Structure formats: structure tokens, C-alpha cells
Amino acid sequence: MKYKVVLEPQEEGGYTAYVPALPGCVSQGETTDEATANIREAIEVYLESIEERGLALPQIEEREVAV
């Protein structure tokens, strides 16, 4: 599966990464590469947890809007 990941630079340095389609799936890293690797791991753990508990994935619709 592919998920859209958002990387936000932090004032104190580093990046916060989150997945809009997976509420609560958040990580961070000092570089974009580290943040991407960490959020990939967070996604795997998130999906394993959902599966183990027999829950359905959140139904979130993403759209891009030009302004």
C-alpha cells in the first residue's frame, strides 16, 4: 500500500512526519530521510495493531485542491 506522508520542518530542528489517512500515526527525525524511515516503521506498527485487534482501517478521503 502507498500512503501520503506529510513532513513538517520544526523550528527547533528536525521534522515531524504524519499520515493524514491514519489518524495518530506520527513520527519524527532529524533529517527528511530519517523522518521518512521512521514514519514508514510507524505505519507498519499502526497497520499491525489494526490487524491484530480486528479493526477496519479508517475511511478517510484525501483530495488535492488547487488554490
Per residue in 18-52, pLDDT (tens digit) is: 999 999 999 999 999 999 999 999 999 999 999 99
**What pLDDT was estimated at residue 22?**
95
Residue 64's pLDDT band (cuts 50, 70, 90): confident
Domain for residue 1, yes or no? no
Domain for residue 58, yes or no? no
Q: Give the pTM.
A: 0.86
Looking at the 3D structure of the chain, how many domains does it have?
1
Q: How far apart are CA 46 and CA 38, in angstroms?
A: 12
Domain for residue 35, yes or no? yes
Domain for residue 59, yes or no? no
Domain for residue 27, yes or no? yes
Residue 55's pLDDT band (cuts 50, 70, 90): very high
CB 38 within 8 A of CB 63: no
Domain for residue 40, yes or no? yes
The total of other beta-carbon atoms located within 10 Å of residue 35's CB is 23
Whether residue 9 is predicted with pLDDT greater than 90 in this model: the reply is yes
Note down the domain range covering 30: 6-52
Domain for residue 63, yes or no? no
Domain for residue 29, yes or no? yes
